[in-house]
Every structure is written in structure tokens, then in C-alpha cells.
Structure 1
């Protein structure tokens, strides 16, 4: 729990918002959902977390329904 609180604070300081965290079974120990202002902020956060030596992350860019509809509408 202390590391979760520290992560929430780190995301906040980076201009983002830590939305949720889920303990998972299987390949990944947990899933964290966060919003960041841009891709550069995401990269900085991933590098900072990875630099601690005890965290490995895999980042996924998610598109909202509105973004998905816009992408599909732009197809020929």
C-alpha cells in the first residue's frame, strides 16, 4: 500500500491522475490505470518507475469510444 500511495503522488506530480489499480492473477501482478497529459509524460513516468529496479511496466495506449468513432469515420 505504501508503494501504491507513492505511485499516486508521483503521477500527480507529473501532471497525471492515477485512476485505479487492480491486483491480478496470471502473467501480470497488477494493472494500474492512469491518465497522463501526453506521451512524453508517460515515457518519463515509465523510465522513472523502471529506474527503481523493482518495477517493470508495459504501457498500452487506450482510445475512448469517441476517439475510436473518429478513427473509424476517417477510414476511406
Structure 2
């Protein structure tokens, strides 16, 4: 499966409804699992972003569908990065001319 790092910022709506954030996070985890993915880690962070999540999905299309659904709820905005582990990176480097 492909690994992704999701950087998330709360919207005005999301911060106003912060008390329900734990339930929304659990719902998001269940939603990605229902699509064949997995939430590997979720963190509330300080700085430019409010949350960082690490997850896996079987394809880019599945991740995009998940993110569109998540964004349509209006509580967060995401920046998503495709991540490669050490083994994947080493394989790519070996293919260099």
C-alpha cells in the first residue's frame, strides 16, 4: 500500500466544534479503513498545522476520494504528501543511471 502524510489545519468551523474533534477523528479512521486503508498514526501538533496523520491506502484514487470526503465536511483543510519508506527509496535510487 502507498503511505501518505497528511498535514491538517482546522477551519473556523472545525475550531468552533473542537469538542467533537475526537469523534470526528475516529469516524475518519473508520472511513479510511472501510476504503481498504489504514490510519497508522494521528497527532495533534503545535505550529503551522493542527494535526498530522500518517496513513496507507491501496491507491492514489482511494486517498483522493477519502480526502475529498474529509474536506467536504468543512472542518479541516489538508496538505497531503506521498511518503516512501527507506526500502522504497533505496529501490528507486538503485534504478538511477
TM-score, length basis structure 1: 0.95
Q: CA RMSD in A?
A: 0.8
Partner residue in 1 for 2:50: 29
User: How many equivalent pairs are there?
Assistant: 76
State the alpha-carbon separation in 2 of the partners of residues 46 and 8 from structure 1.
12
The SS at the match of 2:76 is coil
1:72 is matched with which residue? 93
Gaps of 5+ in 1: none
> What CA distance in whole angstroms lies between the structure 2 residues aligned with 1:14 and 1:71?
28
Q: Equivalent residue of 2:80, what SS?
A: coil
Of the two structures, which has the highest relative contact order with CA contacts closer than 8 Å and spacing of 6 or more? 2
* Matched residue SS, 1:9: helix
Q: Which residue number corresponds to residue 62 of structure 1?
A: 83
Moved over 2 A (4+): none
Question: 1:12 — aligned with what?
Answer: 33
Deviation at 1:3, TM superposition (A): 1.1
